[in-house]
């Protein structure tokens, strides 16, 4: 009796499993479809109140002295944002970072117009699933193409979430400071 029931329902169960599997795969594909059409763009401003890491930093701070704001755009919507600046050394605090970006910027004004050798990412956030990982990869590609940048380093807060994010995305931990931690993405 059990064998008869097993043979009778087995094809139906298998068919339902196949159908559910197809639906799940289709939904996952649709969920991440936006990533294929997204592009990296430079922004003049961002909504600093959305920044979960450093909301206290103004837009003026974020675009002055060789600092930049980049976003991943998809269908005229910004899905992730990363702010970084260019230095010649690795900062341990936001104040050091500000001074180092000014120094690198002023040095470049007297030389070759290429601001700093190190790109320091100091804040990143995502508005859409997969955006954070994507913007890291896109900024990484952009830095690889540049002829004056040789390192991508973070100035991350002392949180386990930041640590896990960077390690999961291929960075190595450089140092843990009093207020921050630095990770490096190999260029």
Q: Each residue of 44-88: pLDDT tens digit?
A: 999 999 999 999 999 999 999 989 999 999 888 899 999 999 999
Q: Each residue of 102-145: pLDDT tens digit?
A: 999 988 876 666 667 899 999 999 998 888 888 888 888 888 88
Give the domain ranges of the chain.
1-36, 38-185
Q: Which two tokens stand for residue 109?
A: 């004004």
pLDDT bucket at 21, cuts 50 / 70 / 90: low
Alpha-carbon torsion 59, 174, 183, 161, what sign?
negative
- Domain 38-185, second-level architecture: 3-Layer(aba) Sandwich (3.40)
Beta pairing class for 156-157 and 77-87: unpaired
| DSSP of 35-76 | HHH-EEEEES---GGG-SS-TTS-HHHHHSTT-EEEEEEETT
């Amino acid at each position: 009796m059990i064998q008869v029931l097993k043979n009778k329902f087995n094809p139906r169960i298998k068919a339902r499993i196949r159908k559910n599997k197809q639906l799940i795969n289709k939904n996952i594909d649709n969920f991440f479809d936006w990533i294929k059409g997204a592009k990296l763009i430079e922004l003049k401003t961002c909504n600093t109140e959305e920044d979960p890491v450093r909301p206290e930093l103004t837009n003026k701070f974020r675009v002055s002295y060789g600092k930049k704001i980049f976003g991943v755009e998809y269908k005229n919507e910004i899905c992730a944002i990363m702010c970084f600046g260019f230095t010649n050394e690795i900062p341990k605090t936001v104040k050091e970072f500000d001074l180092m970006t000014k120094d690198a910027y002023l040095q470049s004004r007297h030389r070759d117009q290429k601001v700093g050798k190190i790109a320091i990412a100091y804040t990143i956030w995502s508005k859409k699933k997969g955006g954070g990982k994507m913007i890291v990869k896109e900024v990484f590609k952009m830095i690889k193409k540049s002829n004056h940048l040789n390192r991508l380093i973070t100035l991350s807060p002392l949180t386990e979430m930041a640590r896990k994010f960077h390690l999961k995305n291929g960075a190595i931990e450089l140092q843990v400071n009093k207020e921050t931690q630095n990770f490096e993405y190999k260029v």
